[in-house]
C-alpha cells in the first residue's frame, strides 16, 4: 500500500468536504462507542479496569522477553509440522510467501483479513506473480472490488453505504441491483463459495500466536477464516512478532477485552485455532502450514520510550472514540493504520519525515487512552513523537519559532502576563460586534473552516483580581 501520510492535511480537507462520507461516518461511529460502553457496564466497571491492568502487565511481560517467547513458539510450532519463517522487512515477507506459492504451483489464494498483509503489500506482490488473490472477509471483499484500502482495522468498509456496495456487487456479479443487506451478504457468500472450494493456498493473519502450544489464533465474526485455514492444501499465516503470548490462559484473558472494545460484543462468533498440519486420518486441515513472523519496524519500538504501543491488540477502540477519526475517516491518514494508533505506528514504520502531521492530528482529549483495553498512553506517545519532530527540525520554521517564543515568555511570568493581556485585547477587537474572529493570522487552518469566539478582552488574571476585589 503506497504511503500517503505526508498529505494528511489535504486528504483530511477532502474527506471533510465529502458529504456522502460524512453521512456514512455519522451512521457508524456512535454504534461502536455505545456498544463498547454497554458491554463494559455489563461486565462491571471495576472488574473491567482490573482486567485492563492485567492485560497491560501481560503484554509488557511479553515484550520484555520477546525473543524467548518467539523462540518457544517456533520450537513448539515446528514440533507440530509447521514451518516458521522470519521476515525482517516487508519485502522479505512478500518474497517468502511468493516463493512458497511458486514452489507449490499456487494459482489462487483465499485470504482472511490481515492488516500485516496490507502493511507489506502482499496482494500486489502475489498478483504481480500471476496469482489470483481473493479477500473473503466481507468488508475486505467489498474494498477489493472497489480497489480501495481499508478505512478501519475492524470494519474496513465502514465508510461505504449499502447503496455503494449494491453498485459494486451489480458490476462484479452481474445480478439485479439490491440494497437489502441480507440479500447483499447472501450474494457475497455465493460468489465466494467457489473460491473457497478451488483455492490452492489460504492466507490468514493472526490475532495472537501462542508460545506454549505453537498455535495461531484468529478472531472473526464471519467464519471465513475457518474455510481459509482448513480447505486449501497450504495454509500460510502472516503476523507481527509482537503478537506472541505465553499461554492459552493468557488468550482467555485477552479475548474478554477484544470484542467488547472493538464493537461491543460479549464474545466473537468464531475463534480459529490452528496447530500444525493435518494428521494422518484427519479430514480437515492443510498439508503444509507456514507461519511468517514479520518485524518490518517493530523492533524499533522495543526498548524505546514508545514501547507501550506494542501492547496493541488491534481492537480499533482508539479510533472509534477519536474525534479526529470520527470526522475524517481512515483514508485521510494515508496508510494502513488510521486513528490514534496510526498516529504512533505510521511515523515509526515509514519514517516520521513521511508522516509528520499524524502525531499532530489529535485534540489530546485523552479518549483514546481511556478506551484502550491495554492502557496504551497514546497522547503521551504522540507527544514524544512531536518532541522528536521539534528536536529534529522537522516542523515548519514558523511553528518552531512560535513554540520557542511561547517557551521564552512562559518562563518569565511578568512578560507572559503582559503579552497575554495585549493578546486578549487585540483578539477582542478582531471579534468586532458579533464577537467572532473570522480570520486569525497564523491560525488560518482553524479559521478557514469555523469562526473563533473572541475573548472578552481581559485575561483570567484580570477577571480573578476583579472578582477577588468585589469579595
Domains of the chain with bracketed CATH: 64-299 (3.40.50.10420), 398-470 (no CATH)
* Residue 201, C-alpha cell as written in the block: 493456498
Question: What whole-number distance in Å separates Cα of residue 75 and Cα of residue 211?
Answer: 9
Question: What whole-number distance in Å separates Cα of residue 55 and Cα of residue 372?
Answer: 11
- Class of residue 273 by CB neighbours under 10 A (exposed 0-12, middle 13-18, buried 19+): middle
DSSP string, 128-156: HTT-EEEE-SHHHHHHHHHT---SSSSST
Find the distance separating the first CA and the last CA of the chain, reported in whole Å.
Answer: 64
What is the full per-residue pLDDT of the chain (471 aa) written as tens digits?
A: 788 999 999 999 999 999 999 999 988 877 899 999 999 999 999 999 999 999 999 999 999 999 999 999 999 999 999 999 999 999 999 999 999 999 999 999 999 999 999 999 999 999 999 999 999 999 999 999 999 999 999 999 999 999 999 999 999 999 999 999 999 999 999 999 999 999 999 999 999 999 999 999 999 999 899 999 999 999 999 999 999 999 999 999 999 999 999 999 998 889 999 999 988 888 888 999 999 999 999 999 999 999 999 999 999 999 999 999 999 999 999 999 999 999 999 999 999 999 999 999 999 999 999 999 999 999 999 999 999 998 898 888 888 888 899 899 999 999 999 998 998 888 888 888 888 888 877 777 777 777 888 888 888 888 888 888 776
Q: What is the pTM of this model?
A: 0.91
Question: What are the two backbone dihedrals, phi and then psi, of residue 294, each rounded to the nearest 5 degrees?
Answer: -105, 130
In this structure, the dihedral spanned by the alpha carbons of residues 140, 145, 148 and 149, taken in order and rounded to 10 degrees, is 20
Question: What whole-number distance in Å separates Cα of residue 252 and Cα of residue 30?
Answer: 28
Beta carbons within 8 Å of 417's beta carbon, 6+ residues apart? 459, 461
Contact 168, 146 (CB under 8 A): yes
DSSP string, 175-192: ------HHHHHHHHHHHH
Contact 371, 52 (CB under 8 A): no
Total length of the chain: 471
Dihedral (CA of 279, 285, 288, 291) sign: negative
Question: What are the two backbone dihedrals, phi and then psi, of residue 415, each rounded to the nearest 5 degrees?
Answer: -65, -40
Question: What whole-number distance in Å separates Cα of residue 298 and Cα of residue 3?
Answer: 17
Beta partners for 253? none
Question: What whole-number distance in Å separates Cα of residue 298 and Cα of residue 398?
Answer: 33
Helix or strand (DSSP H, E) at 120: helix 115-120
Question: What whole-number distance in Å separates Cα of residue 189 and Cα of residue 197?
Answer: 12
Question: pLDDT value at position 471?
Answer: 67
**Alpha helices (H) in 174-247, listed in sequence order:** 181-198, 224-230
Q: How many CB atoms lie within 10 A of CB 182?
A: 8
Closest listed residue to residue 113, CA positions, set 246, 202, 2, 3 = 202
Beta partners for 239? 293
Question: pLDDT value at position 403?
Answer: 87
Question: What are the two backbone dihedrals, phi and then psi, of residue 452, each rounded to the nearest 5 degrees?
Answer: -105, 125
- Give the pairing type, strands 452-453 and 436-437: antiparallel
Question: What whole-number distance in Å separates Cα of residue 273 and Cα of residue 210?
Answer: 10
- Give the pairing type, strands 452-453 and 82-87: unpaired
3-state secondary structure of 100: helix
List of E strands, 192-314: 201-204, 208-210, 215-220, 234-240, 244-245, 270-274, 288-294
Contact 105, 82 (CB under 8 A): no
Beta carbons within 8 Å of 64's beta carbon, 6+ residues apart? none
Question: What whole-number distance in Å separates Cα of residue 181 and Cα of residue 15?
Answer: 25
Question: What are the two backbone dihedrals, phi and then psi, of residue 5, each rounded to the nearest 5 degrees?
Answer: -65, -25
The residue written with cell numbers 440494497 in the block is 179
Question: What whole-number distance in Å separates Cα of residue 101 and Cα of residue 107?
Answer: 8
Question: pLDDT value at position 29?
Answer: 73
* Residue 387, C-alpha cell as written in the block: 518532541
Amino acid at each position: 500500500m503506497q504511503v500517503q501520510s505526508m498529505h494528511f492535511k489535504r486528504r483530511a480537507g477532502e474527506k471533510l468536504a465529502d458529504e456522502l462520507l460524512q453521512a456514512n461516518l455519522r451512521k457508524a461511529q456512535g454504534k461502536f462507542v455505545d456498544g463498547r460502553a454497554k458491554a463494559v457496564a455489563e461486565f462491571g466497571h471495576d472488574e473491567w479496569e482490573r482486567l485492563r491492568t492485567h492485560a497491560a502487565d501481560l503484554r509488557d511481560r511479553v515484550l520484555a522477553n520477546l525473543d524467548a517467547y518467539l523462540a518457544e513458539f517456533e520450537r513448539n510450532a515446528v514440533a507440530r509440522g509447521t514451518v516458521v519463517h522470519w521476515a525482517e522487512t516487508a519485502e522479505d515477507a512478500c518474497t517468502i510467501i511468493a516463493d512458497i506459492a511458486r514452489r507449490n504451483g499456487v494459482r489462487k489464494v483465499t485470504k482472511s483479513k490481515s492488516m500485516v498483509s496490507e502493511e507489506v503489500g502482499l496482494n500486489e506482490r502475489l498478483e504481480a506473480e500471476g496469482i489470483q488473490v481473493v479477500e473473503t472477509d466481507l468488508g475486505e471483499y467489498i474494498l477489493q472490488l472497489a480497489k480501495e484500502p481499508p478505512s478501519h482495522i475492524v470494519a474496513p468498509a465502514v465508510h461505504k453505504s449499502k447503496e455503494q456496495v449494491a453498485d459494486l456487487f451489480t458490476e462484479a456479479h452481474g445480478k439485479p441491483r439490491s440494497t437489502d443487506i441480507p440479500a447483499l451478504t447472501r450474494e457475497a457468500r455465493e460468489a465466494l463459495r467457489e473460491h473457497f472450494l478451488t483455492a490452492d493456498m489460504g492466507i490468514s493473519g493472526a490475532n495472537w500466536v501462542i508460545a506454549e502450544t505453537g498455535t495461531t489464533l484468529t478472531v472473526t465474526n464471519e467464519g471465513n477464516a475457518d474455510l481459509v485455514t482448513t480447505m486449501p492444501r497450504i495454509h500460510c499465516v502472516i503476523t507481527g512478532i509482537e503478537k506472541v503470548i505465553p499461554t492459552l490462559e493468557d488468550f482467555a484473558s485477552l479475548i474478554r477485552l477484544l470484542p467488547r472494545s472493538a464493537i461491543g460484543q460479549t464474545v466473537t462468533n468464531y475463534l480459529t485455532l490452528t496447530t500444525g498440519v493435518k494428521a494422518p486420518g484427519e479430514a480437515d486441515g492443510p498439508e503444509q502450514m507456514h507461519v511468517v513472523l514479520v518485524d518490518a519496524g517493530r523492533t524499533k519500538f522495543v526498548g524505546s520510550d514508545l514501547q507501550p504501543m506494542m501492547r496493541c491488540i488491534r481492537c480499533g477502540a482508539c479510533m472509534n472514540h477519536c474525534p479526529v477519526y470520527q470526522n475524517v475517516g481512515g483514508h485521510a491518514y494515508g496508510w494502513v493504520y488510521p486513528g490514534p494508533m496510526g498516529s504512533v505506528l505510521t511515523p515509526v514504520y515509514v519514517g516520521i519525515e513521511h508522516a509528520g502531521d499524524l502525531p499532530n492530528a489529535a485534540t489530546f482529549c485523552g479518549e483514546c487512552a481511556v478506551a484502550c483495553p491495554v492502557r496504551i498512553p497514546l497522547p503521551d506517545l504522540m507527544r514524544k513523537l512531536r518532541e522528536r519532530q521539534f528536536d529534529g527540525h522537522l516542523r515548519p520554521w514558523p511553528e518552531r519559532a512560535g513554540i520557542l517564543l511561547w517557551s521564552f515568555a512562559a518562563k518569565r511570568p511578568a512578560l507572559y502576563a503582559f503579552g497575554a493581556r495585549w493578546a486578549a485585547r487585540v483578539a477582542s477587537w478582531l471579534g468586532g460586534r458579533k464577537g467572532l474572529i473570522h480570520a486569525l493570522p497564523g491560525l488560518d487552518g482553524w479559521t478557514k473552516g469555523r469562526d473563533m469566539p473572541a475573548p472578552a478582552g481581559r485575561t483570567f488574571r484580570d477577571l480573578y483580581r476583579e472578582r477577588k476585589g468585589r469579595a
